[in-house]
Amino acid sequence: MELGIGSIAFIYDSIIHGKFGNSIDLLLYSIEKTFQFAEENDLKICEIILDPPEVLLSDSKQKFIDLCDLFPLIKKQFHAPYAYLSLCTRNPWILKATIECYVKAARYVRKLELKFIQFILEMQSSYITHIMELKIN
């Protein structure tokens, strides 16, 4: 078993202390602090939360990629966006948007050569399997 840390801790800390006026700067700062903490404490895994996924949709995308590259020895686990998304919805528009968002997130994971992506799936596993098989095929 390997011990790791998630960027959520630094996100909450930054929100509590009111350090940032926008979510992109908040997320980038929190991710950097997470990597630094992991490196200083010999932790091998960091879970990165990018929700809302504005970092990936803005000019800051390259800053995020560069930040990940600065810490090559840390395994990075990407937490897929989850706010306003739902694989359990019966609304076809939200379902389509959710799958598209997860596919885009998976592409970033591949681009960054990360090994893990975590999806929050709150529904029957048979339905999840069906949805994911449809998208993969």
Give every strand in the sheet of 75-79, ordered side by side.
Answer: 4-6, 45-49, 75-79, 116-118
Task: Please tell me the predicted confidence (pLDDT) of residue 32.
Answer: 94
pLDDT band, very low/low/confident/very high, at 134 (cuts 50, 70, 90) = very low
Gap between the terminal Cα atoms of the chain: 33
Measuring CA to CA, which residue among 130, 135, 134, 116 is closest to residue 6? 116
Show the CA angle centred on residue 133, arms to residues 129 and 137, nearest 5°.
Answer: 180
Query: Rounded to an integer, what distance in angstroms lies between the CA atom of residue 97 and that of residue 122?
Result: 17
- Residue 120 scores a pLDDT above 50: yes
Query: Rounded to an integer, what distance in angstroms lies between the CA atom of residue 54 and that of residue 85?
Result: 14
Task: Please tell me the predicted confidence (pLDDT) of residue 116.
Answer: 67
Chain segment 25-54, per-residue pLDDT in tens? 888 999 999 999 999 999 988 988 877 677
**For the chain, what are the domain ranges?**
4-136
Task: Please tell me the predicted confidence (pLDDT) of residue 34.
Answer: 93
Tell me which CATH code domain 4-136 carries.
3.20.20.150
pLDDT band, very low/low/confident/very high, at 119 (cuts 50, 70, 90) = low
